[in-house]
Structure 1
Amino acid sequence: MHSWTDTLRFAFQPVVNLTTGGVAGLEILARPETGDVLAEARRDAELDGRLAVLAVRAAARKETLLPLHVNVFAGTLADLGGLAPLHDAVREAGRLPWEVTLDIVPPYTHVPQRALLEAVAALREQGFRISTDGVGDGDVPLRLLADLAPDLVKLDACLLERPAMVRAMRTLCDELGALLAVEGVETELQCAAARTAGAQLAQGQLFAPPARLPAADVYVPPRSSVAVPAPRSGPSVREFLRPAALLPAGASAGQVRALLTGSPDVSGVLLVDRQGVPVRSVHRSRFLLSMSGRYGHALYADRPATRLGDPPRTVGIDATAWEVLDVVAVGGRDRTSDDVGVVDDHGRCVGVVRLADLVRALAETRVEEAAGLNPLTRLPGSDAITREVDRRIADDRAFALSWLDIDHFKQVNDGAGFAAGDELIRSVGRMLQGQASGGTRVGHIGGDDFLVLTDLEGLDPLAASVLDALWSAGGRPVTLSLATVLCLPGSVADHRQAAACLAPLKMAAKALRGGSWVLGHAGSPGHEVRRGSLPVAAAGPEVVGAEPGVG
């Protein structure tokens, strides 16, 4: 009697790193030749668990070193309370649990959430990584998504038509410590949209279709001139993560040599203990040079590879690219090309990063930043501020957008000279930048004009520090004018509308005597005069506006 497994085949689809262009893992997809085994697995937890085991065994037969993504229905995890046979299959295949990501597949409706969370906790304790699949086109509740705290969130490509939602999901992923992937990418336009919205990983027909053999090469469109803004502290190491080549700490030099010669793309091997913690790092070139020397093979082939390794260089999964460079900078120059291992909270290796990937990405970031800097103050221009304004609007965050300039600056230049005027502009820029912290961004938009974006709680301290300072040029006292529009969630649609709300407030501030500050609310008429006074000739009953200090 034939079993349904006789007609079951598996295909492999690459999960692509959009930063490095490399393959970050392989999703294993069941492809039955007859019947609909997936529909049956949705109703039968035991069958679904067997499919997961067969997927891992199929990958083992292909002898791939890449991390694996195995699909499991949410209901299966809740019903079975874990997947003990899967853990055994992973070990039998010579793989480690943290090399396997379980893609939890919808539906979630009617799945007991407590049982699901307990099963996920048990699997995570064993070392498996967790991904939530079908987000955006499935039925996963956002609260459950947060409780699951996945390592990876997979979005359906349909959400790329709503980039604000993808950006918001990237923000949520950052809070959860998860990576963001988009699946079903079919066009270069979708790939560019995924990058712009902040996705780090993607998969789909554009890169490589599902195939019986794991893809050795994938097509990744070149990065467009529109770059995804990096976090202020630097790009996360997660964006550069590559699969690690791992062998047990007791592996012989011959085993390491066989792995390296059979995998030309592997630049090094990490030797790990039974818990997956790196104990030695073997660099490809140095190792093969030692083995190819006179008597090298005879001396080392059957001996532990640890003798030809070095202490591993590692960083945490939450590190930034700059922190990786700090690690690389410590030690001898002969190790600057070594891979840096990335470890989780338990010290287990989850991948490696290569110096070349970091240097290239950071150099591109610096070039883009430098191109937008004002040559006088070295502050970014308006584009950097308006992009951040749009991000905060998309994230439904309240913010204050302020315009600041120097009063009667032409007279300052005419009376004190342009050199004194330039130094005054630089001094104001330094003061603003020095006071910027947390959610504050400062831009120099030209001449004596500055844009300042702050969170609501950071507005008053910054305004006070700048307006209370005693400014002068060539011995002459100088005052500043500040105009601010408060934008609450839903009050403006984009940065253009925010700027339009700010324009009349700027005119109102310039109409006041002395140092001034005018504050208004987007979508509301009138304004509040925080500082400054009306000229005597204008201080009549027909003047419209709020009284100073009213808020």
Structure 2
Amino acid sequence: MHSWTDTLRFAFQPVVNLATGGVTALEVLARPESGDILAEARRDPELDGRLAVSALRAAARAERLLPLHVNVFAATLADLGGLGPLQDAVREARRMPSEVTLDIVPPFTHVPRQALLEAVTVLRGQGFRISADGVGDGDLPLRLLTDLAPDLVKLDSSLLARPAAVRAMRTLCEHTGALLAVEGVETERQYAVALSAGAQLAQGDLFAPPARLPATDVYVPPRSPEVVTAPRSGPSVREFLRPAALLPACASAGEVRALLTGSPDVSGVLLVDPSGVPVRSVHRSRFLLRMSSRYGHALYADRPAAKLGDPPRTVGIDATAWEVLDVVAVGGRDRTSDDVAVVDRHGRCVGVVRLADLVRALAESRIEEAARLNPLTRLPGSEAITSEVDRRIAAGRTFTLSWLDIDHFKQVNDGAGFAAGDQLIRSVGQALQRAATGSTRVGHIGGDDFLVLADPDRLDSLVAAVLDAPWSADGLSVTLSLATVVCGAGSVSGHQQAAACLAPLKKTAKALHGASWVLGRAGRTGHEIRRGAPAATAQAG
């Protein structure tokens, strides 16, 4: 009698990092030559568990160092309470659990919720990474998705027809600390939509179809100049993760040499303890130079590779690209090309970032930012401020949004001339910049109008810096008007609503005499007049 393993083969599909264009992992896919083993596995948790183990062993035979994605039904995890045999298979393959992402696939209906969450907790404690698969075309409730707290959310490509949904999921992922991927990308149009909507990873036939032999060279379409990635406060290292080449801390120099000579794309090896925590970093060029020196192989081949390594440079998974540059800047110049290990909250390596990827991305972001600056004040426009407003709303932060302008500015231009008017606008912008501290953001939205986004405790000092200063243009005295709306957590749904709350306050401030400041609160009626007086009262006095 033939076993189901006799007709089962596995294929590998690359998971592509959209920021770097590199392959970040391989998904292992079961491909039965006859029968419907996957339908049987859906009904039989034990069979599904054996399929996951077989997928891992097939990947081990392929001798690739890339991290792996292995599919498992949600019901399997809930029924078995975890996957003990899979952990044994990981050890047999001399891999780390952190190199394996379990793609939890639907259906979720009728799966015991608590049992599933407990199984995921066990697997995460063992070091496995968790992915929620088929989101958008399956039956995964949003509440369960957030309770699972996956490291990765995989969207069905059908959602690319609804970019707003993809952008909303990106915002949710940023809030929960997950990466966002899109599966089934088949056209360059879909790729462009995924990129502009904020997806960080993707897979599909466009890049490389599933194949018996793992592919590391994939097709990535050139970026169109009009493609703008989803707004974010600063590039996260999550967007630049590359697979790490890992070996046990006890590995010999000979084992490291074999890995490096067999994998020319690997720039370095991390030696990790049994938990996956980096303990030494071996740089490719420096290591091979020592090994190729006279007597180098004889001296080092059987000795621990750790003796030829350096202390690892690490950053947390929530670090920004700028923080990575700070880490790279510390120490000797000979280590500036070293990979930086990215670790989770337990200190376990989840990948590496390369300096070249970060420098390229940061340079591009600076060019894009410069193109959006107002040429008069060199301040960003309204788009940068409103995008940051949306991020703070999504993060549940309380903030203040203020609008500032120069009173009777047309009279300034008519009386003092356009050059004096331009200089006045520049001076106000410079004063706002100097007063902006911490997370305060200043934008010039055109003409004599400015937007200021600040935390409530930063507001008074900024107001004093601009409203208490004497302003003039070519000897003509000038006053400023300021309107502020305080937005508490949950009080507004987006920057459009915040702007709508600000509009009547702006009108009130402009109706006051002299330097004025009106403050209101989103979701509440009424306002405070903190500076200025009603025009009728001023005339009567």
Q: CA deviation at 1:415?
A: 6.8
Aligned residues: 537
* Aligned equivalent of 1:216: 216
Q: CA deviation at 1:195?
A: 1.8
Q: Does structure 2 conserve the Cα–Cα contact (< 8 Å) formed by 1:52 and 1:72?
A: yes
* Aligned equivalent of 2:228: 227
Q: 1:122 to 1:501 in 2, by over 3 A?
A: closer
The one-letter code sitting in structure 2 at the alignment partner of 1:235 is P
Q: 1:253 to 1:261 in 2, by over 3 A?
A: same
* Aligned equivalent of 1:266: 266
Q: CA deviation at 1:437?
A: 6.5
* Aligned equivalent of 1:68: 68
Q: CA deviation at 1:254?
A: 1.6
* Aligned equivalent of 2:191: 191
- Matches of 1:191 and 1:147, distance apart in 2: 29
- CA deviation map 1:448-477 (0-9, x unaligned): 22133568x689758854664233236664
- Matches of 2:459 and 2:348, distance apart in 1: 45
Q: 1:443 to 1:152 in 2, by over 3 A?
A: same
- CA deviation map 1:263-301 (0-9, x unaligned): 111111111122222222111111222222222222222
* Aligned equivalent of 1:181: 181
Q: Does structure 2 conserve the Cα–Cα contact (< 8 Å) formed by 1:137 and 1:158?
A: yes
Equivalent positions of 1:164-179 (< 5 A) are 164-179=164-179
Q: 1:127 to 1:443 in 2, by over 3 A?
A: same
* Aligned equivalent of 1:544: none
* Aligned equivalent of 1:452: 452
- CA deviation map 1:129-183 (0-9, x unaligned): 1111111211112222222111111111222222222222222212222111111
The one-letter code sitting in structure 2 at the alignment partner of 1:231 is R
Equivalent positions of 1:32-43 (< 5 A) are 32-43=32-43
For normalisation by structure 2, the TM-score amounts to 0.88
The one-letter code sitting in structure 2 at the alignment partner of 1:469 is D
* Aligned equivalent of 2:114: 114
The one-letter code sitting in structure 1 at the alignment partner of 2:425 is I
Equivalent positions of 1:87-102 (< 5 A) are 87-102=87-102
Equivalent positions of 1:327-338 (< 5 A) are 327-338=327-338
* Aligned equivalent of 2:244: 244
* Aligned equivalent of 2:85: 85
Q: CA deviation at 1:100?
A: 0.3
The one-letter code sitting in structure 2 at the alignment partner of 1:227 is V
State which drifts further: 422-431 or 351-360. Answer: 422-431
* Aligned equivalent of 1:4: 4
Q: Is 1:406 aligned to residue 415 of structure 2?
A: no
Q: Is 1:305 aligned to residue 302 of structure 2?
A: no
Equivalent positions of 1:202-213 (< 5 A) are 202-213=202-213
- Matches of 2:253 and 2:141, distance apart in 1: 50
SS in 1 for 2:208: coil
Q: Does structure 2 conserve the Cα–Cα contact (< 8 Å) formed by 1:168 and 1:394?
A: no
- Matches of 1:361 and 1:87, distance apart in 2: 37
- Over the aligned positions, Cα root-mean-square deviation in angstroms equals 3.5
Q: Does structure 2 conserve the Cα–Cα contact (< 8 Å) formed by 1:168 and 1:395?
A: no
* Aligned equivalent of 1:545: none
Q: 1:336 to 1:71 in 2, by over 3 A?
A: same
SS in 1 for 2:338: coil
- CA deviation map 1:320-374 (0-9, x unaligned): 1111111111111111111111112222211111000010001111111122223
Q: Does structure 2 conserve the Cα–Cα contact (< 8 Å) formed by 1:98 and 1:350?
A: yes
Q: CA deviation at 1:510?
A: 4.4
* Aligned equivalent of 2:468: 469
Q: Is 1:14 aligned to residue 14 of structure 2?
A: yes
- Matches of 1:183 and 1:437, distance apart in 2: 42
* Aligned equivalent of 2:318: 318
- Residue ranges of structure 2 left out of the alignment (5+ in a row): none
SS in 2 for 1:150: coil
* Aligned equivalent of 1:50: 50
- Matches of 1:491 and 1:102, distance apart in 2: 37
Q: 1:115 to 1:501 in 2, by over 3 A?
A: closer
State which drifts further: 461-470 or 30-39. Answer: 461-470
The one-letter code sitting in structure 1 at the alignment partner of 2:115 is A
State which drifts further: 168-177 or 443-452. Answer: 443-452
Q: CA deviation at 1:395?
A: 9.4
- Matches of 2:60 and 2:143, distance apart in 1: 36
Q: CA deviation at 1:259?
A: 0.9
SS in 1 for 2:154: strand
- CA deviation map 1:50-90 (0-9, x unaligned): 00000001101100100000011111001001110111011
Q: 1:219 to 1:167 in 2, by over 3 A?
A: same
Q: CA deviation at 1:122?
A: 0.8
Equivalent positions of 1:413-452 (< 5 A) are 424-433=424-433, 436=436, 441-452=441-452
- Matches of 1:115 and 1:30, distance apart in 2: 26
* Aligned equivalent of 1:288: 288
- Matches of 2:250 and 2:204, distance apart in 1: 39
- Residue ranges of structure 1 left out of the alignment (5+ in a row): 540-551
Q: Does structure 1 conserve the Cα–Cα contact (< 8 Å) formed by 2:13 and 2:28?
A: yes
- CA deviation map 1:228-285 (0-9, x unaligned): 25532x2111111100111112222221111111111111111112222222211111
Q: Is 1:275 aligned to residue 285 of structure 2?
A: no
State which drifts further: 277-286 or 428-437. Answer: 428-437
Q: Does structure 1 conserve the Cα–Cα contact (< 8 Å) formed by 2:436 and 2:462?
A: no
* Aligned equivalent of 1:384: 384
Q: Does structure 1 conserve the Cα–Cα contact (< 8 Å) formed by 2:491 and 2:523?
A: no
For normalisation by structure 1, the TM-score amounts to 0.86
SS in 2 for 1:82: coil
Q: 1:439 to 1:106 in 2, by over 3 A?
A: farther
SS in 2 for 1:294: coil
Q: 1:224 to 1:504 in 2, by over 3 A?
A: farther
- Matches of 1:129 and 1:76, distance apart in 2: 17
- Matches of 1:68 and 1:377, distance apart in 2: 49
Q: Does structure 2 conserve the Cα–Cα contact (< 8 Å) formed by 1:270 and 1:279?
A: yes
SS in 2 for 1:338: coil
Q: Does structure 2 conserve the Cα–Cα contact (< 8 Å) formed by 1:396 and 1:490?
A: no
Q: Does structure 2 conserve the Cα–Cα contact (< 8 Å) formed by 1:339 and 1:352?
A: yes
Q: 1:72 to 1:26 in 2, by over 3 A?
A: same
